[in-house]
Amino acid sequence: MLSKKQALLFFLGGTILFSIIFIAMSIDTVSKGIPAHTHEENMTAQVIHGRVLWDENNCMGCHTLMGEGAYYAPELTKVYDRVGPDVMKAILTSKVPWAPHGRKMVAYGFSNEDAEGLIAFLKWVGEIDLNGYPATPPLKNRLK
Amino acid sequence: MKYKSQKVAYWAFALSMLLIILQITYGFIQAFAHLGYDGLHEWIPFNTSMAVHKNLLVVWILSGFMGAAYYIIPDESDNELFMPILAYIQLGALAVVGVIAVAGFHFNWWEGRKFLEIPRELDFLVVVDVLLFLFVILMTLWKGKQRTTTAMILSVGLLAAALLYLPGMIWFDNHALDSFFRWWVVHLWVEGVWELIMGGILAYLLIKLTGVDREVIEKWLYVIVGLTFLSGILGTGHHYYYTGAPSYWLIVGGIFSALEPLAFMGMALFAINMYNKGEKRHPNKTAVKWTLGTAIVSFAGAGLLGLAHTIPQVNLYTHGTFVTAMHGHLAFWGAYGMIVFAIITYVMPNVTGRKIYNNALGNYAFWISLIGMLGMVSAFAAMGVTQVNLERRLGLDFMTVQQELHPHFWVLVITASIFTVGILLYVWNFMKYGLPTDEAIGMEDEFRTI
Protein backbone atom coordinates (compact mmCIF):
# COMPACT_ATOMS: atom_id res chain seq x y z
CA MET A 1 0.00 0.00 0.00
CA LEU A 2 1.13 3.51 -0.81
CA SER A 3 2.79 5.26 2.12
CA LYS A 4 2.45 8.95 2.93
CA LYS A 5 6.08 9.50 2.00
CA GLN A 6 5.62 7.85 -1.39
CA ALA A 7 2.56 10.03 -1.95
CA LEU A 8 4.64 13.13 -1.15
CA LEU A 9 7.34 11.99 -3.59
CA PHE A 10 4.72 11.46 -6.30
CA PHE A 11 3.44 15.01 -5.72
CA LEU A 12 6.87 16.65 -5.65
CA GLY A 13 8.35 14.55 -8.47
CA GLY A 14 5.44 15.09 -10.85
CA THR A 15 5.19 18.78 -10.08
CA ILE A 16 8.89 19.46 -10.57
CA LEU A 17 9.16 17.34 -13.74
CA PHE A 18 6.12 18.87 -15.45
CA SER A 19 7.04 22.40 -14.34
CA ILE A 20 10.45 22.01 -16.01
CA ILE A 21 8.87 20.73 -19.23
CA PHE A 22 6.31 23.56 -19.16
CA ILE A 23 8.93 26.25 -18.62
CA ALA A 24 11.16 24.81 -21.38
CA MET A 25 8.21 24.80 -23.82
CA SER A 26 7.24 28.31 -22.74
CA ILE A 27 10.75 29.61 -23.41
CA ASP A 28 10.62 28.20 -26.93
CA THR A 29 7.13 29.62 -27.49
CA VAL A 30 8.00 33.08 -26.22
CA SER A 31 11.39 33.39 -27.92
CA LYS A 32 10.62 31.77 -31.27
CA GLY A 33 7.07 30.47 -31.68
CA ILE A 34 4.96 33.55 -30.97
CA PRO A 35 7.28 36.07 -32.72
CA ALA A 36 7.19 33.89 -35.86
CA HIS A 37 3.46 33.08 -35.74
CA THR A 38 2.52 36.71 -35.15
CA HIS A 39 4.96 38.16 -37.71
CA GLU A 40 6.42 40.40 -35.05
CA GLU A 41 8.39 42.28 -37.71
CA ASN A 42 5.05 43.75 -38.91
CA MET A 43 4.24 45.21 -35.49
CA THR A 44 4.59 48.89 -36.39
CA ALA A 45 4.15 51.80 -33.98
CA GLN A 46 0.62 52.13 -35.38
CA VAL A 47 -0.17 48.50 -34.55
CA ILE A 48 1.11 48.95 -31.01
CA HIS A 49 -0.93 52.16 -30.66
CA GLY A 50 -4.01 50.14 -31.64
CA ARG A 51 -3.06 47.39 -29.21
CA VAL A 52 -2.89 49.97 -26.36
CA LEU A 53 -6.34 51.32 -27.29
CA TRP A 54 -7.71 47.76 -27.50
CA ASP A 55 -6.47 47.23 -23.96
CA GLU A 56 -7.46 50.63 -22.51
CA ASN A 57 -11.05 50.34 -23.70
CA ASN A 58 -11.53 46.72 -22.69
CA CYS A 59 -12.76 45.70 -26.14
CA MET A 60 -12.59 42.02 -25.12
CA GLY A 61 -15.24 42.81 -22.48
CA CYS A 62 -17.76 42.41 -25.36
CA HIS A 63 -15.87 41.00 -28.37
CA THR A 64 -13.67 37.98 -28.80
CA LEU A 65 -10.25 38.20 -30.46
CA MET A 66 -8.44 34.95 -31.28
CA GLY A 67 -11.51 33.41 -29.61
CA GLU A 68 -10.80 35.12 -26.29
CA GLY A 69 -13.07 37.58 -24.57
CA ALA A 70 -16.82 37.92 -24.04
CA TYR A 71 -19.61 36.62 -26.23
CA TYR A 72 -21.72 39.77 -26.59
CA ALA A 73 -20.24 41.11 -29.81
CA PRO A 74 -18.67 39.50 -32.89
CA GLU A 75 -15.32 37.73 -33.10
CA LEU A 76 -12.86 40.26 -34.58
CA THR A 77 -9.89 38.09 -35.61
CA LYS A 78 -10.75 38.30 -39.31
CA VAL A 79 -12.80 41.52 -39.17
CA TYR A 80 -10.39 43.33 -41.50
CA ASP A 81 -11.05 40.78 -44.25
CA ARG A 82 -14.74 40.51 -43.43
CA VAL A 83 -15.86 44.14 -43.40
CA GLY A 84 -12.82 46.09 -44.60
CA PRO A 85 -11.13 49.24 -43.26
CA ASP A 86 -13.77 51.74 -44.42
CA VAL A 87 -16.64 50.22 -42.46
CA MET A 88 -14.35 49.69 -39.46
CA LYS A 89 -13.36 53.33 -39.51
CA ALA A 90 -16.98 54.47 -39.75
CA ILE A 91 -17.90 52.37 -36.69
CA LEU A 92 -14.88 53.44 -34.65
CA THR A 93 -15.29 57.17 -35.31
CA SER A 94 -19.10 57.22 -34.94
CA LYS A 95 -20.47 59.52 -32.25
CA VAL A 96 -23.70 57.50 -31.97
CA PRO A 97 -23.74 53.86 -30.87
CA TRP A 98 -23.32 51.35 -33.69
CA ALA A 99 -26.22 48.98 -33.01
CA PRO A 100 -26.66 46.05 -35.40
CA HIS A 101 -29.96 44.28 -34.62
CA GLY A 102 -30.36 46.75 -31.74
CA ARG A 103 -27.30 45.56 -29.80
CA LYS A 104 -25.35 48.69 -28.89
CA MET A 105 -21.63 49.23 -29.03
CA VAL A 106 -20.20 52.09 -26.95
CA ALA A 107 -19.91 55.16 -29.20
CA TYR A 108 -16.20 55.77 -28.81
CA GLY A 109 -15.96 58.50 -31.43
CA PHE A 110 -12.25 57.81 -31.93
CA SER A 111 -10.04 60.33 -33.74
CA ASN A 112 -8.78 59.43 -37.20
CA GLU A 113 -5.38 58.53 -35.82
CA ASP A 114 -6.79 56.25 -33.10
CA ALA A 115 -9.20 54.55 -35.49
CA GLU A 116 -6.37 53.88 -37.93
CA GLY A 117 -4.26 52.44 -35.09
CA LEU A 118 -7.03 50.04 -34.14
CA ILE A 119 -7.57 49.07 -37.77
CA ALA A 120 -3.83 48.41 -38.18
CA PHE A 121 -3.86 46.31 -34.99
CA LEU A 122 -6.83 44.25 -36.14
CA LYS A 123 -5.27 43.79 -39.60
CA TRP A 124 -2.09 42.52 -37.89
CA VAL A 125 -4.13 40.12 -35.71
CA GLY A 126 -5.89 38.84 -38.83
CA GLU A 127 -2.53 37.80 -40.26
CA ILE A 128 -1.41 35.79 -37.21
CA ASP A 129 -1.00 32.06 -37.80
CA LEU A 130 -3.65 30.67 -35.43
CA ASN A 131 -3.29 26.96 -36.29
CA GLY A 132 -6.43 27.03 -38.42
CA TYR A 133 -8.71 29.21 -36.26
CA PRO A 134 -11.30 30.43 -37.08
CA ALA A 135 -12.28 27.38 -39.12
CA THR A 136 -14.21 27.73 -42.36
CA PRO A 137 -17.78 26.61 -41.50
CA PRO A 138 -17.80 23.01 -42.78
CA LEU A 139 -21.52 22.83 -43.53
CA LYS A 140 -21.87 26.20 -45.24
CA ASN A 141 -21.87 24.73 -48.75
CA ARG A 142 -24.54 22.20 -47.86
CA LEU A 143 -27.11 24.97 -47.35
CA LYS A 144 -29.38 25.11 -50.34
CA MET B 1 -12.96 27.85 17.96
CA LYS B 2 -9.74 27.49 19.87
CA TYR B 3 -8.23 30.94 19.48
CA LYS B 4 -9.64 34.44 19.69
CA SER B 5 -7.86 35.56 16.52
CA GLN B 6 -9.80 33.03 14.44
CA LYS B 7 -12.68 35.50 14.57
CA VAL B 8 -11.02 37.39 11.70
CA ALA B 9 -12.37 34.65 9.43
CA TYR B 10 -15.91 35.91 10.02
CA TRP B 11 -15.14 39.32 8.45
CA ALA B 12 -13.51 37.75 5.39
CA PHE B 13 -16.61 35.59 4.95
CA ALA B 14 -18.92 38.58 5.42
CA LEU B 15 -17.04 40.36 2.62
CA SER B 16 -17.52 37.29 0.42
CA MET B 17 -21.27 37.32 1.09
CA LEU B 18 -21.56 40.97 0.14
CA LEU B 19 -19.54 40.57 -3.04
CA ILE B 20 -21.35 37.47 -4.31
CA ILE B 21 -24.64 39.37 -4.16
CA LEU B 22 -23.10 42.21 -6.19
CA GLN B 23 -21.62 39.70 -8.62
CA ILE B 24 -25.02 38.11 -9.22
CA THR B 25 -26.62 41.54 -9.70
CA TYR B 26 -24.18 42.35 -12.51
CA GLY B 27 -24.79 38.90 -13.98
CA PHE B 28 -28.48 39.77 -14.34
CA ILE B 29 -27.57 43.08 -16.01
CA GLN B 30 -25.57 41.05 -18.55
CA ALA B 31 -28.31 38.50 -19.18
CA PHE B 32 -30.91 41.24 -19.79
CA ALA B 33 -28.52 43.11 -22.11
CA HIS B 34 -28.25 39.91 -24.14
CA LEU B 35 -32.03 39.86 -24.39
CA GLY B 36 -32.06 43.43 -25.70
CA TYR B 37 -33.00 45.15 -22.43
CA ASP B 38 -29.92 47.33 -22.18
CA GLY B 39 -31.42 50.43 -20.57
CA LEU B 40 -28.32 50.81 -18.41
CA HIS B 41 -26.01 50.93 -21.47
CA GLU B 42 -25.07 54.61 -20.90
CA TRP B 43 -23.85 53.97 -17.35
CA ILE B 44 -23.02 50.27 -17.31
CA PRO B 45 -22.11 49.11 -20.83
CA PHE B 46 -21.66 45.38 -21.30
CA ASN B 47 -17.87 45.41 -20.95
CA THR B 48 -18.28 47.12 -17.55
CA SER B 49 -20.81 44.59 -16.26
CA MET B 50 -18.58 41.81 -17.59
CA ALA B 51 -15.45 43.13 -15.84
CA VAL B 52 -17.37 43.61 -12.59
CA HIS B 53 -19.00 40.16 -12.77
CA LYS B 54 -15.66 38.41 -13.32
CA ASN B 55 -13.52 40.40 -10.91
CA LEU B 56 -16.02 40.22 -8.05
CA LEU B 57 -15.98 36.46 -8.53
CA VAL B 58 -12.21 36.39 -8.13
CA VAL B 59 -12.25 38.72 -5.13
CA TRP B 60 -15.05 36.99 -3.19
CA ILE B 61 -13.43 33.62 -3.68
CA LEU B 62 -10.02 34.96 -2.63
CA SER B 63 -11.64 36.59 0.38
CA GLY B 64 -13.22 33.23 1.21
CA PHE B 65 -9.83 31.53 0.90
CA MET B 66 -8.31 34.15 3.19
CA GLY B 67 -11.06 33.61 5.76
CA ALA B 68 -10.49 29.86 5.53
CA ALA B 69 -6.76 30.34 6.12
CA TYR B 70 -7.36 32.70 9.06
CA TYR B 71 -9.51 30.01 10.68
CA ILE B 72 -7.60 26.87 9.69
CA ILE B 73 -3.97 27.93 10.20
CA PRO B 74 -4.28 28.86 13.92
CA ASP B 75 -6.22 25.63 14.51
CA GLU B 76 -3.73 23.44 12.64
CA SER B 77 -0.58 25.11 13.99
CA ASP B 78 -2.01 25.34 17.52
CA ASN B 79 -1.26 29.00 17.91
CA GLU B 80 -2.94 32.43 17.84
CA LEU B 81 -2.69 34.26 14.51
CA PHE B 82 0.48 36.31 14.32
CA MET B 83 -0.49 39.97 14.91
CA PRO B 84 -4.23 39.67 14.16
CA ILE B 85 -4.48 43.46 13.77
CA LEU B 86 -2.58 43.04 10.49
CA ALA B 87 -5.19 40.55 9.35
CA TYR B 88 -7.97 43.10 9.98
CA ILE B 89 -6.01 45.82 8.16
CA GLN B 90 -5.35 43.47 5.25
CA LEU B 91 -9.02 42.57 4.87
CA GLY B 92 -10.09 46.19 5.10
CA ALA B 93 -7.52 47.15 2.47
CA LEU B 94 -8.72 44.33 0.19
CA ALA B 95 -12.27 45.65 0.45
CA VAL B 96 -11.13 49.23 -0.32
CA VAL B 97 -9.02 48.17 -3.34
CA GLY B 98 -11.94 46.07 -4.55
CA VAL B 99 -14.36 49.00 -4.32
CA ILE B 100 -11.94 51.33 -6.13
CA ALA B 101 -11.38 48.74 -8.87
CA VAL B 102 -15.10 48.12 -9.40
CA ALA B 103 -15.86 51.86 -9.39
CA GLY B 104 -13.02 52.39 -11.88
CA PHE B 105 -14.56 49.86 -14.28
CA HIS B 106 -17.49 52.28 -14.64
CA PHE B 107 -15.14 55.08 -15.72
CA ASN B 108 -13.06 53.23 -18.33
CA TRP B 109 -10.22 52.65 -15.81
CA TRP B 110 -9.14 49.10 -16.50
CA GLU B 111 -7.17 46.81 -18.77
CA GLY B 112 -8.87 44.72 -21.42
CA ARG B 113 -7.60 41.42 -20.11
CA LYS B 114 -10.24 38.89 -19.15
CA PHE B 115 -10.16 38.17 -15.39
CA LEU B 116 -7.23 40.57 -14.87
CA GLU B 117 -8.99 43.85 -15.66
CA ILE B 118 -7.68 45.57 -12.52
CA PRO B 119 -5.34 48.36 -13.73
CA ARG B 120 -1.64 47.90 -13.02
CA GLU B 121 -1.49 50.80 -10.57
CA LEU B 122 -3.96 48.91 -8.38
CA ASP B 123 -2.15 45.63 -9.04
CA PHE B 124 0.69 46.91 -6.88
CA LEU B 125 -1.73 47.53 -4.01
CA VAL B 126 -3.11 44.01 -4.50
CA VAL B 127 0.44 42.66 -4.25
CA VAL B 128 1.14 44.59 -1.03
CA ASP B 129 -2.18 43.39 0.40
CA VAL B 130 -1.49 39.76 -0.46
CA LEU B 131 2.05 40.01 0.95
CA LEU B 132 0.56 41.25 4.22
CA PHE B 133 -1.86 38.32 4.24
CA LEU B 134 0.94 35.83 3.55
CA PHE B 135 3.10 37.42 6.22
CA VAL B 136 0.42 36.82 8.86
CA ILE B 137 -0.24 33.25 7.69
CA LEU B 138 3.40 32.19 7.30
CA MET B 139 4.47 33.77 10.61
CA THR B 140 1.62 31.98 12.37
CA LEU B 141 2.76 28.72 10.83
CA TRP B 142 6.40 29.48 11.68
CA LYS B 143 5.66 30.23 15.33
CA GLY B 144 3.15 27.42 15.66
CA LYS B 145 3.59 24.29 17.74
CA GLN B 146 3.09 22.01 14.76
CA ARG B 147 3.13 22.10 10.95
CA THR B 148 0.57 19.71 9.51
CA THR B 149 0.45 18.58 5.91
CA THR B 150 -2.98 20.19 5.54
CA ALA B 151 -1.67 23.57 6.73
CA MET B 152 1.42 23.30 4.53
CA ILE B 153 -0.54 22.43 1.37
CA LEU B 154 -2.95 25.30 2.02
CA SER B 155 -0.09 27.75 2.63
CA VAL B 156 1.97 26.62 -0.36
CA GLY B 157 -1.15 27.04 -2.51
CA LEU B 158 -1.71 30.58 -1.21
CA LEU B 159 1.96 31.50 -1.68
CA ALA B 160 2.06 30.09 -5.21
CA ALA B 161 -1.17 31.92 -6.09
CA ALA B 162 0.47 35.19 -5.04
CA LEU B 163 3.65 34.49 -7.05
CA LEU B 164 1.68 33.53 -10.14
CA TYR B 165 -0.06 36.92 -10.12
CA LEU B 166 3.23 38.53 -11.13
CA PRO B 167 3.56 37.29 -14.76
CA GLY B 168 0.21 38.98 -15.40
CA MET B 169 1.67 42.35 -14.47
CA ILE B 170 4.28 42.47 -17.25
CA TRP B 171 3.44 44.64 -20.26
CA PHE B 172 3.92 43.15 -23.74
CA ASP B 173 3.55 45.08 -26.98
CA ASN B 174 2.66 41.80 -28.66
CA HIS B 175 -0.98 40.96 -27.91
CA ALA B 176 -0.35 37.21 -28.34
CA LEU B 177 2.44 37.30 -25.74
CA ASP B 178 0.18 39.18 -23.35
CA SER B 179 -2.44 36.48 -23.82
CA PHE B 180 0.18 33.77 -23.28
CA PHE B 181 1.18 35.10 -19.88
CA ARG B 182 -2.37 36.01 -18.89
CA TRP B 183 -3.05 32.27 -18.86
CA TRP B 184 -0.02 31.70 -16.64
CA VAL B 185 -2.06 33.55 -14.06
CA VAL B 186 -5.60 32.47 -14.82
CA HIS B 187 -5.09 28.83 -15.79
CA LEU B 188 -2.33 28.05 -13.31
CA TRP B 189 -4.57 29.58 -10.66
CA VAL B 190 -7.83 27.80 -11.33
CA GLU B 191 -6.47 24.54 -12.70
CA GLY B 192 -3.35 24.55 -10.54
CA VAL B 193 -2.64 26.24 -7.26
CA TRP B 194 -6.25 27.08 -6.36
CA GLU B 195 -6.85 23.32 -6.40
CA LEU B 196 -4.10 23.09 -3.81
CA ILE B 197 -5.98 25.59 -1.66
CA MET B 198 -9.25 23.74 -2.31
CA GLY B 199 -7.58 20.41 -1.48
CA GLY B 200 -6.19 21.83 1.76
CA ILE B 201 -9.58 23.18 2.87
CA LEU B 202 -11.30 19.95 1.80
CA ALA B 203 -8.81 17.82 3.75
CA TYR B 204 -9.30 20.00 6.84
CA LEU B 205 -13.07 19.67 6.58
CA LEU B 206 -12.90 15.91 6.06
CA ILE B 207 -10.62 15.52 9.09
CA LYS B 208 -13.08 17.53 11.19
CA LEU B 209 -16.30 16.11 9.80
CA THR B 210 -15.59 12.40 9.35
CA GLY B 211 -13.20 11.59 12.15
CA VAL B 212 -11.00 9.60 9.74
CA ASP B 213 -7.34 9.49 10.74
CA ARG B 214 -5.42 12.55 9.58
CA GLU B 215 -2.57 10.45 8.16
CA VAL B 216 -4.92 8.66 5.77
CA ILE B 217 -6.60 11.86 4.60
CA GLU B 218 -3.32 13.71 4.11
CA LYS B 219 -1.75 10.84 2.19
CA TRP B 220 -4.55 10.98 -0.38
CA LEU B 221 -4.35 14.76 -0.40
CA TYR B 222 -0.79 14.44 -1.75
CA VAL B 223 -1.96 12.03 -4.44
CA ILE B 224 -4.76 14.37 -5.53
CA VAL B 225 -2.67 17.52 -5.69
CA GLY B 226 0.01 15.44 -7.42
CA LEU B 227 -2.54 14.47 -10.10
CA THR B 228 -3.62 18.12 -10.36
CA PHE B 229 -0.16 19.32 -11.28
CA LEU B 230 0.66 16.27 -13.37
CA SER B 231 -2.23 17.14 -15.69
CA GLY B 232 -2.87 20.82 -15.00
CA ILE B 233 0.56 22.35 -15.68
CA LEU B 234 0.89 21.10 -19.25
CA GLY B 235 -2.91 21.30 -19.56
CA THR B 236 -2.34 25.07 -19.79
CA GLY B 237 -1.73 24.20 -23.44
CA HIS B 238 -5.48 24.11 -24.10
CA HIS B 239 -5.43 27.92 -23.99
CA TYR B 240 -2.62 28.02 -26.55
CA TYR B 241 -4.26 26.09 -29.38
CA TYR B 242 -5.52 29.07 -31.36
CA THR B 243 -3.88 32.13 -29.84
CA GLY B 244 -0.70 32.52 -31.87
CA ALA B 245 1.41 29.84 -30.17
CA PRO B 246 3.11 26.92 -31.99
CA SER B 247 1.09 23.84 -32.94
CA TYR B 248 2.90 21.52 -30.50
CA TRP B 249 0.53 22.88 -27.84
CA LEU B 250 -2.35 21.15 -29.66
CA ILE B 251 -0.84 17.75 -28.89
CA VAL B 252 0.55 18.48 -25.42
CA GLY B 253 -2.46 20.56 -24.30
CA GLY B 254 -4.88 18.02 -25.76
CA ILE B 255 -3.36 15.03 -23.99
CA PHE B 256 -2.74 16.61 -20.61
CA SER B 257 -5.96 18.56 -20.36
CA ALA B 258 -7.83 15.35 -21.17
CA LEU B 259 -6.19 13.99 -17.99
CA GLU B 260 -7.34 16.95 -15.87
CA PRO B 261 -10.67 15.34 -14.86
CA LEU B 262 -8.65 12.60 -13.11
CA ALA B 263 -7.63 14.98 -10.34
CA PHE B 264 -11.22 16.10 -9.83
CA MET B 265 -12.47 12.51 -9.97
CA GLY B 266 -9.84 11.69 -7.35
CA MET B 267 -11.14 14.52 -5.20
CA ALA B 268 -14.76 13.31 -5.48
CA LEU B 269 -13.90 9.67 -4.73
CA PHE B 270 -11.65 10.79 -1.88
CA ALA B 271 -14.40 12.82 -0.21
CA ILE B 272 -17.06 10.12 -0.64
CA ASN B 273 -14.74 7.35 0.58
CA MET B 274 -13.59 9.29 3.62
CA TYR B 275 -17.20 10.08 4.48
CA ASN B 276 -18.17 6.40 4.20
CA LYS B 277 -15.06 5.31 6.09
CA GLY B 278 -15.66 7.71 8.97
CA GLU B 279 -17.44 5.99 11.79
CA LYS B 280 -18.26 9.21 13.53
CA ARG B 281 -20.93 11.63 12.43
CA HIS B 282 -20.53 15.37 12.88
CA PRO B 283 -23.66 17.20 14.03
CA ASN B 284 -23.18 19.94 11.40
CA LYS B 285 -24.84 17.99 8.61
CA THR B 286 -25.17 21.03 6.35
CA ALA B 287 -21.39 21.45 6.34
CA VAL B 288 -21.09 17.76 5.36
CA LYS B 289 -23.47 18.40 2.44
CA TRP B 290 -21.46 21.36 1.14
CA THR B 291 -18.20 19.42 1.57
CA LEU B 292 -19.35 16.37 -0.39
CA GLY B 293 -21.19 18.70 -2.79
CA THR B 294 -18.08 20.67 -3.73
CA ALA B 295 -16.10 17.49 -4.39
CA ILE B 296 -18.80 16.04 -6.65
CA VAL B 297 -19.91 19.21 -8.46
CA SER B 298 -16.32 20.25 -9.18
CA PHE B 299 -15.78 16.88 -10.88
CA ALA B 300 -18.87 17.47 -13.02
CA GLY B 301 -18.17 21.14 -13.78
CA ALA B 302 -14.42 21.48 -13.92
CA GLY B 303 -13.68 17.88 -14.88
CA LEU B 304 -16.36 16.56 -17.21
CA LEU B 305 -17.65 19.80 -18.74
CA GLY B 306 -14.04 20.85 -19.28
CA LEU B 307 -13.33 17.58 -21.05
CA ALA B 308 -16.37 18.21 -23.24
CA HIS B 309 -14.56 20.92 -25.21
CA THR B 310 -10.87 20.50 -24.48
CA ILE B 311 -9.94 18.24 -27.42
CA PRO B 312 -8.45 20.52 -30.13
CA GLN B 313 -10.68 19.20 -32.92
CA VAL B 314 -13.76 20.07 -30.83
CA ASN B 315 -12.32 23.28 -29.42
CA LEU B 316 -11.72 24.62 -32.93
CA TYR B 317 -15.50 25.13 -33.12
CA THR B 318 -16.38 25.74 -29.46
CA HIS B 319 -13.53 28.19 -28.67
CA GLY B 320 -15.04 31.59 -27.89
CA THR B 321 -18.65 30.43 -27.61
CA PHE B 322 -21.15 29.91 -24.78
CA VAL B 323 -19.81 26.36 -24.41
CA THR B 324 -17.03 28.03 -22.43
CA ALA B 325 -19.57 29.87 -20.26
CA MET B 326 -21.29 26.53 -19.55
CA HIS B 327 -18.05 25.00 -18.30
CA GLY B 328 -16.94 28.16 -16.50
CA HIS B 329 -20.07 28.56 -14.40
CA LEU B 330 -20.26 25.01 -13.04
CA ALA B 331 -16.49 24.76 -12.62
CA PHE B 332 -16.18 27.95 -10.59
CA TRP B 333 -19.28 27.27 -8.55
CA GLY B 334 -18.53 23.60 -7.91
CA ALA B 335 -14.85 23.87 -7.18
CA TYR B 336 -14.41 27.28 -5.61
CA GLY B 337 -17.80 28.72 -4.74
CA MET B 338 -18.98 25.59 -2.95
CA ILE B 339 -15.70 24.99 -1.07
CA VAL B 340 -15.92 28.54 0.30
CA PHE B 341 -19.56 27.94 1.29
CA ALA B 342 -18.52 24.61 2.87
CA ILE B 343 -15.88 26.17 5.09
CA ILE B 344 -18.19 29.06 6.03
CA THR B 345 -20.92 26.57 6.96
CA TYR B 346 -18.47 24.69 9.13
CA VAL B 347 -16.92 27.76 10.75
CA MET B 348 -20.01 29.85 11.57
CA PRO B 349 -21.26 27.83 14.59
CA ASN B 350 -17.70 27.67 15.90
CA VAL B 351 -17.04 31.42 15.86
CA THR B 352 -20.49 32.57 16.96
CA GLY B 353 -21.28 29.76 19.41
CA ARG B 354 -24.77 29.37 17.92
CA LYS B 355 -25.82 25.86 17.03
CA ILE B 356 -28.30 26.60 14.27
CA TYR B 357 -26.50 24.51 11.69
CA ASN B 358 -29.17 22.00 10.84
CA ASN B 359 -32.04 24.40 10.31
CA ALA B 360 -34.29 24.27 7.25
CA LEU B 361 -32.91 27.57 5.96
CA GLY B 362 -29.36 26.24 5.55
CA ASN B 363 -30.65 23.04 3.99
CA TYR B 364 -32.85 24.85 1.45
CA ALA B 365 -29.99 27.22 0.61
CA PHE B 366 -27.86 24.23 -0.42
CA TRP B 367 -30.46 22.50 -2.57
CA ILE B 368 -32.02 25.58 -4.18
CA SER B 369 -28.65 27.09 -5.17
CA LEU B 370 -27.52 23.73 -6.56
CA ILE B 371 -30.67 23.20 -8.60
CA GLY B 372 -30.55 26.80 -9.83
CA MET B 373 -26.94 26.48 -10.93
CA LEU B 374 -27.56 23.16 -12.72
CA GLY B 375 -30.42 24.88 -14.57
CA MET B 376 -28.17 27.81 -15.53
CA VAL B 377 -25.52 25.46 -16.82
CA SER B 378 -28.13 23.63 -18.91
CA ALA B 379 -29.22 26.96 -20.40
CA PHE B 380 -25.61 27.84 -21.25
CA ALA B 381 -25.15 24.36 -22.76
CA ALA B 382 -28.17 24.84 -25.01
CA MET B 383 -26.87 28.27 -26.07
CA GLY B 384 -23.40 26.89 -26.69
CA VAL B 385 -24.54 23.99 -28.84
CA THR B 386 -26.92 26.22 -30.83
CA GLN B 387 -24.22 28.84 -31.36
CA VAL B 388 -21.60 26.29 -32.41
CA ASN B 389 -23.90 24.65 -34.94
CA LEU B 390 -25.41 27.78 -36.46
CA GLU B 391 -22.43 30.11 -36.39
CA ARG B 392 -19.37 27.91 -36.52
CA ARG B 393 -20.66 24.93 -38.51
CA LEU B 394 -23.25 26.53 -40.80
CA GLY B 395 -21.61 29.95 -41.00
CA LEU B 396 -24.60 32.17 -40.12
CA ASP B 397 -23.95 35.78 -39.09
CA PHE B 398 -23.07 36.44 -35.43
CA MET B 399 -26.05 38.66 -34.59
CA THR B 400 -28.53 36.43 -36.44
CA VAL B 401 -27.42 33.56 -34.24
CA GLN B 402 -27.50 35.70 -31.08
CA GLN B 403 -31.19 36.29 -31.61
CA GLU B 404 -31.79 32.57 -31.91
CA LEU B 405 -30.34 32.26 -28.39
CA HIS B 406 -33.04 34.38 -26.72
CA PRO B 407 -35.21 31.46 -25.50
CA HIS B 408 -32.17 29.99 -23.75
CA PHE B 409 -31.44 33.36 -22.17
CA TRP B 410 -34.96 33.42 -20.71
CA VAL B 411 -34.29 29.97 -19.22
CA LEU B 412 -31.03 31.39 -17.88
CA VAL B 413 -32.84 34.31 -16.22
CA ILE B 414 -35.38 31.96 -14.58
CA THR B 415 -32.80 29.45 -13.35
CA ALA B 416 -30.46 32.22 -12.22
CA SER B 417 -33.36 33.59 -10.17
CA ILE B 418 -33.68 30.19 -8.48
CA PHE B 419 -29.93 30.21 -7.82
CA THR B 420 -30.22 33.71 -6.38
CA VAL B 421 -32.98 32.60 -3.99
CA GLY B 422 -30.63 29.87 -2.72
CA ILE B 423 -27.81 32.36 -2.23
CA LEU B 424 -30.06 34.88 -0.46
CA LEU B 425 -31.28 32.15 1.92
CA TYR B 426 -27.64 31.30 2.63
CA VAL B 427 -26.77 34.94 3.32
CA TRP B 428 -29.85 35.31 5.53
CA ASN B 429 -28.75 32.26 7.51
CA PHE B 430 -25.26 33.75 7.73
CA MET B 431 -26.76 36.88 9.25
CA LYS B 432 -28.85 34.85 11.69
CA TYR B 433 -25.66 33.48 13.22
CA GLY B 434 -24.83 36.97 14.43
CA LEU B 435 -21.36 38.31 15.15
CA PRO B 436 -18.41 36.24 16.35
CA THR B 437 -17.93 36.25 20.11
CA ASP B 438 -15.16 35.39 22.56
CA GLU B 439 -17.67 33.21 24.40
CA ALA B 440 -17.36 30.71 21.56
CA ILE B 441 -13.73 30.03 22.48
CA GLY B 442 -13.33 26.48 23.73
CA MET B 443 -16.90 25.57 22.79
CA GLU B 444 -15.67 23.57 19.83
CA ASP B 445 -15.75 20.36 21.87
CA GLU B 446 -19.51 20.53 21.72
CA PHE B 447 -19.34 20.53 17.94
CA ARG B 448 -16.95 17.63 17.56
CA THR B 449 -17.83 14.42 15.79
CA ILE B 450 -19.94 12.15 17.98
Q: Would you call B51 and A58 a contact, using CB atoms and an 8 Å cutoff?
A: yes
Buried b (16+ CB within 10 A) or exposed e, B276-307: eebeeebbbebbbbbbbbbbbbbbbbbbebbb
Chain A residue whose CA is closest to B42: A106
- How far is CA B291 from each of CA A27, B17, B151, B152, B213, rounded to the nearest angstrom? 40, 18, 18, 20, 17
* CB pair distance less than 8 Å for B215 and A4: yes
Q: How far is it, in rounded angstroms, from Cα A67 to Cα A76?
A: 9
Domain A41-135 class in CATH: mainly alpha
Could you say which of B111, B176, B325 has the minimum Cβ distance to residue A38? B176
A107: left (phi over 0), alpha (psi -120 to 50) or beta: beta
Distance separating alpha carbons of residues B371 and B106, to the nearest angstrom: 32
- What local confidence, expressed as pLDDT, does residue B446 receive? 56
Interface touch B243/A67, C-beta < 8 Å: yes
Q: What is the DSSP secondary structure assignment for residue A133, as one 8-state letter?
A: P
Q: Which domains does chain B have, with CATH numbers?
A: 4-447 (1.20.210.10)
ipTM: 0.96
Give A101's contacts in chain B (Cβ within 8 Å).
399-400, 402-403
Residues of chain A with pLDDT under 50: none
B3/B205 Cα distance (integer angstroms): 18
Across the interface, do B395 and A140 touch by the CB < 8 Å criterion? yes
- Give the chain B residue whose CA is nearest to the CA of A128: B244
The per-residue pLDDT for B450 is 47
Cross-chain residue pair A58–B394, CB shorter than 8 Å = no
Q: Which residue of A has its CA nearest to B35?
A: A103
Q: Which of A6, A22, A48 to mutate to test the interface with B (most CBs of B within 10 A)?
A: A22
Contacting residues of B for A58, CB less than 8 Å apart? 47, 51, 108, 110-112, 117
> Kind of pairing, strands A64-65 and A68-69?
antiparallel
Q: What is the pLDDT along chain B (450 residues), one digit of tens a residue?
A: 899 999 999 999 999 999 999 999 999 999 999 999 999 999 999 999 999 999 999 999 999 999 999 999 999 999 999 999 999 999 999 999 999 999 999 999 999 999 999 999 899 999 999 999 999 999 999 999 999 999 999 999 999 999 999 999 999 999 999 999 999 999 999 999 999 999 999 999 999 999 899 999 999 999 999 999 999 999 999 999 999 999 999 999 999 999 999 999 999 999 999 999 987 788 899 999 999 999 999 999 999 999 999 999 999 999 999 999 999 999 999 999 999 999 999 999 999 999 888 899 999 999 999 999 999 999 999 999 999 999 999 999 999 999 999 999 999 999 999 999 999 999 999 999 999 999 999 876 655 554
CB atoms A62 and B36 under 8 Å: no
Q: Which residue in chain A has the smallest CA separation from B383?
A: A71
Give the residue from B32, B47, B241, B309 with the most A CB atoms within 10 Å of its CB, the best one to mutate. Answer: B47
Query: B112–A61: do the CB atoms touch at under 8 Å?
Result: yes
What pLDDT shows up at residue A1?
Answer: 81
